[in-house]
Structure 1
Amino acid sequence: MNLSQFLLILGARKKLVFFTLLLTVLAALTVSLLLPKSYKATSTLLLNYKGVDPLTGVTMPGQLLPGYMATQIDIASSKKVALQVVDQLKLASSPAVVAQFNSATEGRGSVRDWLADLLLRKLEIVPARESSVVDISFKGSDPQFVAAVANAFAEEYQKVSIQLKVEPMKKASVYFDEQTKALRDNVEKAQSRLSKYQQEHGIVSVDNRLDVESNRLNDLSAQLVGAQGQLMEAQSRQRMAQGSSGESPDVASNALIQNLKVGLGNAEAKLSEIAQRLDRNHPQYQSAKAEVDKMRRDLDEQIRVASRSVGNNAQIFQQREASVRAALLEQKNKVLELNRTRDEMGVLAKDVESAQRAFDSASQRFSQTKIEGQSEQSDIAVLNPAVAPIEPDGPKVVRNVLLSLFLGVFLGVGLAFMVELLNRRVRSENDLREALQIPVFGVVDWAPKRHGNARLNALLPRRLRLN
């Protein structure tokens, strides 16, 4: 079907379309005038768009998510809020409402649930575009009642929002309270183990004691090096004194030996002089020789004594070196023991520190959750409370009439096509061609002319068009 056929059908059925449109408009106008008036009250709420908790000042990422506004709308239109509105307005206690409930449901179910469902059907929640403002609207026949219900929904929505935020905090505070007690016990046990270990090992300050013992170990190390040097020098002097005592500087520097050498030299000189004058058997020669022999024996004895003194000095240095070495070894073991003690004490101290840190963190979190659990602050504020409307919101006669115009035209056109399909007629040459499946050779226009003989004009064709 082309456009010309469509227009021909509408032209042929224009009366049907007109009457259908007229009936539709009259019906819509009649219904709009007969319907009872309805009123609409709106309460405007402002949600905290900054996403900052008013109590702690912490940014709440949940309010920054795209689904936050949709979630809040679902909460405001939830049955929990509706039930609290029923309780606040005491609707379930009205005898008329109870009678209406028994008549509608035959006593099945609960009056509160039935009223909540009725309120939700007439509730409308619309968020503003690109802002955090939400309109809570309620429709009804009583202006005062719709305003009270809209304000009640806004108020109960605030309470439910606070309750949903506070209840998890209360449960969390109970959990953190239990954890804080357990962590406090862990801190006390770790501190007790550390104190017991310090008492058993007599530790007051392990760091200061370790510094003292380390300094002592360094001093002993220096003393050992010095003792080893003195021992090596003493052993060298001992070997020299035992090998060639006359060349030993320790023996040569002995004052008594030097005096004996001087005396021996004088005695030998005297003996040499007497030997030039007297015979060996002379008493003076014998006396001088005896004196030389005695002084030589004394010199040898003193040299041996000096050599033994050098050897004794070397033994003394050796004993000192051995004692210093033993003291150094003992001090080293003591320092190692202190290091081990410090490591063990460090582990215990770290256990105490870790337990204390966990306790402090849990205690801080417990304090915060406890405060948040007791908070009644809400991030939702009433921007404009609902007031009783003066003008009715419906029925809207003009809108209904305009809608009925479109609906009447649509129904008229549809009815015209339905009637045309039930009683199909040839209205153009295309209809004839499609119906008979034969070519059309000509079209005769039988419309009469407006002048001359009317009867003759009616019998004659006005125009003949050949294909």
Structure 2
Amino acid sequence: MNLLQFLLILKARYKIILVTCFITVFTATVITIFLPKSYSATTSLLLNYKGMDPVTGMVFPAQLMPGYMATQIEIIKSRNIALKVVNQLGLTRPEEAKEHFHISNNGKKDINNLLANLLLSKLTIKPSKESSVIEITFSNPDPDFAAIIANSFADNYQQASIELKIEPAQKAAGYFSKQIIILKDNLEQAQARLTKYQQEKGITNPEQNSDVEIMRLNELSSQLSEIQVAAIDAQSRQSAARNHASESPDVAINPIVQKLRLDAASAESKLAEISLQLGENHPQYQSAKAQVNKIKSQLQVEISRVANSISRSSNITEQREAELRVQVELQKQKVLELNRTRDESTLLKKDVEIAQRAMDTVTQRFGQTRIEGESNQSDIAILNPAIPQETPSSPKVFLNIVLAFVMGGILGIGFGFLAELFDRRIRCREDIVNTLDMPVLAIIVSKSKNKDINLLTNQTYQ
């Protein structure tokens, strides 16, 4: 079938099409007029929510929380909110149920759930794509009742959001209050351990005590270094005085030894002069020789005394060095003990500081969560409350008539083709060719329509 055949069929069956379309439009119009009118009321909500972890206190913007808007829609459409609306408006009363829902309790126990399901079936939630606004729409034959229900859903959702926010905060506050008791005990125990340790060790100011003892150790170490140098020098002088006492520098610089040496040299010179004049048996010679021997004897005695003095000085230096060594070692042990005590005291102090910081942190979070648990401020704001509408939202007469016209046209065309199927007519030369399988030689046009006669010769249509 080509377009010409299709148009010819429509032209031939236009009455059926028009009648069908008229009947469809008329029926749809009558039904639309007699349908009960329904009014829609819409409440707009603005969501300005910031998620917060009640334990860590970290804040997450709602935009970063996937599925936030979908979650809020599910909360609004929840049975819990619908039951709260039913209880708030007292819809379970028999007169209310009959007036708005045309039902009666009749002893049913689940009237609340039944009414909640009826409310949810007429409820529409529409989120905004580019903003944080949610529209709650409720439809009902009574425009005032529709506005009341929409506003009630908004109010109960706002209250539910507060409850959902403060309930975790209240639980967290209870958890923090228990932790405060535990951390307070830990802090007291850590402080008691530190105090007991300081009392046992007699620590008043560990830093100052350690500095004083280190200064004493440094002083003793300095004295030990000096005495060690002196001991080395004393040992060298002692060795020189013991092996060659007369040649020892310490002996040589002794004034008595120097005087005795001068006296010995003078006596030897005098003896040499006498020996040139007198014999060895002469009394003067004997006297001069005895004087020389006496002076040399005194010189040896003095040299021995000086050498012994050097030895005693070296021994004293060595003894002093040994004593300083002992004192340095004792002071080292004392400093090490002080360092160990200070380290242990520092560890105990750190335990106290850690316990104090934990106590402060938990106390701060407890204060925050307690305030949040007592707060009745909601992050949901009612932007536009629902008001009764003057015009019904359904049925939509114009839209239904347009749809009925389209459907009537489709049905009319269908009935027209159905009638053509049962009563097939020849309406064009293509029908002759297809139906009779014969060539068309000429087309005769009625004179009332066209005075010309078109002769088609030697033309065959397959």
Give the TM-score, by structure 2 length. Answer: 0.87
Letter of the 1:285 counterpart: Y
Show the counterpart of 1:379: 379
Note if 1:363 corresponds to 2:349.
Answer: no
Contact 2:105 2:111 survives alignment (8 Å) = no
- How far the C-alpha of 1:134 sits from its partner, in A, is 2.4
SS in 1 for 2:131: coil
Change (3 A) 1:5 1:105: farther
Q: What is the rounded CA distance, in whole Å, between the counterparts of 1:241 and 1:443 in structure 2? A: 167
Contact 1:46 1:133 survives alignment (8 Å) = yes
Q: What is the rounded CA distance, in whole Å, between the counterparts of 1:372 and 1:228 in structure 2? A: 75
Show the counterpart of 1:113: 113
Q: Could you give the per-residue CA deviations for residues 187-207 of structure 1, whole angstroms, max 9, x where no partner exists?
A: 222333233332232222322
- How far the C-alpha of 1:250 sits from its partner, in A, is 1.0
Note if 1:87 corresponds to 2:119.
Answer: no
Note if 1:28 corresponds to 2:52.
Answer: no
Contact 2:271 2:289 survives alignment (8 Å) = yes
Show the counterpart of 1:449: 447
Q: What is the rounded CA distance, in whole Å, between the counterparts of 1:419 and 1:141 in structure 2? A: 44
Q: What is the rounded CA distance, in whole Å, between the counterparts of 2:334 and 2:205 in structure 1? A: 15
- How far the C-alpha of 1:22 sits from its partner, in A, is 0.8
Q: Which moved more, 1:285-294 or 1:21-30?
A: 285-294
- How far the C-alpha of 1:61 sits from its partner, in A, is 2.1
Q: What is the rounded CA distance, in whole Å, between the counterparts of 1:66 and 1:21 in structure 2? A: 51
Question: 1:418-429 to 2 correspondence within 5 Å?
Answer: 418-420=418-420
Q: Which moved more, 1:296-305 or 1:133-142?
A: 133-142
- How far the C-alpha of 1:463 sits from its partner, in A, is 6.0
Change (3 A) 1:106 1:23: farther
Show the counterpart of 2:244: 244
Q: Could you give the per-residue CA deviations for residues 204-262 of structure 1, whole angstroms, max 9, x where no partner exists?
A: 23222222222222222222211111111111111111121122121111122222223
Contact 2:29 2:400 survives alignment (8 Å) = yes
Q: What is the rounded CA distance, in whole Å, between the counterparts of 2:429 and 2:27 in structure 1? A: 39
- How far the C-alpha of 1:429 sits from its partner, in A, is 5.4
Letter of the 2:385 counterpart: P
Contact 2:97 2:103 survives alignment (8 Å) = no
Q: What is the rounded CA distance, in whole Å, between the counterparts of 2:412 and 2:104 in structure 1? A: 39
Contact 1:220 1:327 survives alignment (8 Å) = yes
Question: 1:395-406 to 2 correspondence within 5 Å?
Answer: 395-406=395-406
Q: What is the rounded CA distance, in whole Å, between the counterparts of 1:6 and 1:246 in structure 2? A: 156
- How far the C-alpha of 1:117 sits from its partner, in A, is 1.1
Letter of the 2:17 counterpart: V
Note if 1:12 corresponds to 2:12.
Answer: yes
Change (3 A) 1:229 1:429: farther
Question: 1:45-56 to 2 correspondence within 5 Å?
Answer: 45-48=45-48, 51=50
Q: What is the rounded CA distance, in whole Å, between the counterparts of 1:419 and 1:234 in structure 2? A: 147
Q: Which moved more, 1:279-288 or 1:238-247?
A: 279-288
Show the counterpart of 2:261: 261
In structure 1, runs of 5+ residues without a counterpart are none
Contact 2:278 2:285 survives alignment (8 Å) = yes
Q: What is the rounded CA distance, in whole Å, between the counterparts of 1:60 and 1:311 in structure 2? A: 88
Show the counterpart of 2:191: 191
Q: What is the rounded CA distance, in whole Å, between the counterparts of 2:220 and 2:209 in structure 1? A: 16
Q: Percent identical across equivalent pairs?
A: 48
Q: What is the rounded CA distance, in whole Å, between the counterparts of 2:43 and 2:99 in structure 1? A: 30
Letter of the 2:159 counterpart: K
Change (3 A) 1:324 1:342: same
Show the counterpart of 2:343: 343
Show the counterpart of 1:227: 227
Q: Could you give the per-residue CA deviations for residues 28-76 of structure 1, whole angstroms, max 9, x where no partner exists?
A: 2111221233222222222227x598xxx98532344463223222222
Change (3 A) 1:267 1:363: same
Change (3 A) 1:93 1:425: same
Contact 1:101 1:107 survives alignment (8 Å) = no
Show the counterpart of 1:287: 287
In structure 2, runs of 5+ residues without a counterpart are none
- How far the C-alpha of 1:161 sits from its partner, in A, is 1.1
Q: Could you give the per-residue CA deviations for residues 303-347 of structure 1, whole angstroms, max 9, x where no partner exists?
A: 011001111111111111111222222222222233333333333
Change (3 A) 1:186 1:58: closer
Q: What is the rounded CA distance, in whole Å, between the counterparts of 2:243 and 2:326 in structure 1? A: 31
- How far the C-alpha of 1:156 sits from its partner, in A, is 0.9
- How far the C-alpha of 1:136 sits from its partner, in A, is 1.8
Q: What is the rounded CA distance, in whole Å, between the counterparts of 2:48 and 2:23 in structure 1? A: 52
Contact 1:43 1:382 survives alignment (8 Å) = yes
Show the counterpart of 1:154: 154
Q: What is the rounded CA distance, in whole Å, between the counterparts of 1:261 and 1:342 in structure 2? A: 65
Contact 1:448 1:462 survives alignment (8 Å) = no
Give the TM-score, by structure 1 length. Answer: 0.86
Letter of the 1:384 counterpart: N
- How far the C-alpha of 1:91 sits from its partner, in A, is 0.9
Contact 2:97 2:104 survives alignment (8 Å) = no
Count residues with an aligned counterpart.
Answer: 454
Note if 1:210 corresponds to 2:214.
Answer: no
SS in 1 for 2:302: helix
Letter of the 2:439 counterpart: F
Letter of the 1:6 counterpart: F
SS in 1 for 2:126: strand
Change (3 A) 1:321 1:435: farther
SS in 1 for 2:42: strand
SS in 1 for 2:134: strand
